Chains A and B, each alone.
Chain A
Amino acid sequence: TFTTEETESVTIERDLLRHAANLDKLISETGRDASNNPLPIHLPRVTKETMDALIAWFNEHKDDADWVEKKDEDNKIEDIPDYDKQTFDAIDQQILYGLIIAAELLDIKPLFDSTCKVVAGKLNGMTVEQMREYLDVECDFTEEELKTIREENEWCNS
């Protein structure tokens, strides 16, 4: 069982968590899979929506093969499982980010990989302004600094 930040409790089947390496180890180390030990693991900053999405993802991928770390050249950005592509496209940005953070926290490599690729895919081809809007980032450069950076970028961009 887990509690989320809003202290809602969620029960997850043990075998769904196969991909979450950290949790896996944690649970097996502490023997929490025994049913007489129901103490929850607390996950702050993982909201209910994120948790739902997470569980849905677990359900979808529970039968997947174990994650293999691919080399940079093979790891194309388009290489996302279909289910992931569909859901992540439709999903709310905040939940997507929540998933990224949860994935990193719990060390769920395939999820982390997919979500990062989705965000990267969206960023590819955006202009600077669009990127700032999409990710809600403020520009904290002065005019001069921007000018220098742009010049240097222009020069090293083939």
Chain B
Amino acid sequence: SFQMEVNHLQITPLLRKNSFPSARKFSGLDFRKEFKGSVLERKAKNQRRGIISSILGRFTDWTGISRKPSKRLNAVSDSLSCDLLCPIDEFPCEILLEIFAKLDRTTVIRCREVCSKWKNIIEDANVLRQTLLKPKTLSRLCIRGVPKKESGGKRMIEMRWIDYDTQSCKAILLPIPLNVNASPLFFAFSQFQIQRIVIQDLSFTDDIVHFLRMNLHYCPSLSPVQLTLSNLDFGTAKSLTLHHLLAVVGKTLEVLEIQSVYGIRPLDFTDAHVSQLDATKVRRLVVDKIRLSGCTSRSLLLGDDSLRLFISANNFPTLVLDRCNVTTGVVCDYSHSWLDSAQYDEEAVHRHQVCTVKRCHRVNAAHFEEECSKRRLNCRRSSVTRTTTVYNIQSEHGHDEFTFALFPVPVEDSKKEEGLPHLN
């Protein structure tokens, strides 16, 4: 019959054990210690004793047969007997959490300020387990370096989130160097679902990427769709800096833009970086207005492998490639494969894809025309200006068109580059 009772008592009270590791020093009254004969106390006791002794213990509990009261229980009830009131300060954390769960969003955020116990409860629930506040979608998170005159002389970074739906935005200023310990934003990030990240107007350093990674770690289901790096100084970046960033966000990106960056070196953006993306998801890859550092390099080591990656994934993002290491042949392959894939689409929609190749020293117009005729592509030069040549390649049935814009390496540059070794 005792065995039966063991099975019956599958009551699940509110979880008590180790629910709030960070608020442990504030353990509210633990009723298990005081409520003799309570279900909770029995459960706790059983976890410490063997089966036989626990069954015996239950028996004596219920029938009220007096046993030697444990010293600990007595001490606790002694200290309680002088305090008949029960201020909320002694509320166990679980009850506080239940109350917080019923508050509206702004109030919960305000509660964080009240005292450290409350702060710990809220952060525990939200940051570690993301059960308290519903996530907030940010259309764009913009991390921008603030010019000195705006920030009053100090070097600052501004993090601004923008929500397209509600047309709202808010910014926070952080001092450089970014220090995760000094300004943790884990709580904020634990509510953010970020769709696009823009980093602009600053020196791209390991610090910033580290700070970003630490905070992004707390985002629920981080899956940004776009990463734009604009107007950055890559001179301060190490060769792995961008790799570190892409490691966290790369797999879900559909748009990757790196534009107007200076001080960049060949190893800073390569085929290896592109392979950190999901080749089937990328819709647009822009590498534009690149200013390589020094005179010792012709191009970024972003080359044919990336194009081949897209071809084999049967996914053809819009490309803008400035100062890259691609060759004419493979670019032509790319357009050919796009035309092939477009052809298999059922709808007779006019499809158009654009590929812009700028200042890539291994691509030139004449060669392109040759390659096109080799592949029997219907290629037509549609405009030639001093700086660009535009080709239109049409598919057989004329529905699909691939536009290839070529900006050759400017003459002054090629003179400079004559002495440089060829990158293969």
Contact = CB atoms under 8 A, between A and B. Distances in A.
Interface of A: 5-6, 21-22, 25-26, 29-30, 39-45, 47, 72, 75, 77, 94, 97-98, 100-101, 104-105, 107, 112, 116-117, 119-120, 123-128, 131-132, 135-141, 146, 148-158
A133 to B, nearest CB: 10
A55 to B, nearest CB: 18
A55 B245 CA distance: 61
B9 interface: yes
Interface in B186-222: 187-188, 191-192
A105 B114 contact: no
B38 interface: yes
Given A94-B85, A149-B119, A158 B110 contact: no
20 contacts: A5-B81, A21-B11, A41-B37, A42-B37, A45-B31, A94-B87, A100-B95, A105-B40, A112-B98, A119-B99, A120-B99, A136-B87, A136-B89, A140-B115, A140-B116, A149-B113, A155-B159, A157-B109, A158-B163, A158-B170
Given A100-B95, A101-B86, A146 B113 contact: yes
Contacts of B39: 22, 25-26
Given A47-B84, A132-B115, A137 B89 contact: yes
Contacts of A153: 109-110, 112-113
Lowest 3 CB-CB distances: which A-B pairs, in order?
Answer: A156-B188, A120-B102, A155-B172
A124 B104 contact: yes
Contacts, number: 157
Contacts of B172: 151-152, 154-155
B121 to A, nearest CB: 12
B34 A22 contact: no
B110 A131 contact: yes
Give the dominant DSSP class at A's interface.
Answer: helix
Contacts of A139: 114-115
B104 A45 contact: no
B8 A42 contact: no
A156 B99 contact: no
A39 B60 CA distance: 12
A101 B161 CA distance: 41
B14 interface: yes
B11 A39 contact: no
Interface in B71-124: 77, 80-81, 84-89, 91-92, 94-95, 98-107, 109-119
B47 interface: no
Interface string B21-45: 0000000010100111111100000
Contacts of B99: 116, 119-120, 123
B223 to A, nearest CB: 19
B54 to A, nearest CB: 15
B269 to A, nearest CB: 31
B183 A148 contact: yes
B152 interface: no
A39 B104 contact: no
Contact of B36 (A42, A77, A104): A42
B38 A105 contact: yes
A156 B109 contact: yes
A112 B102 CA distance: 12
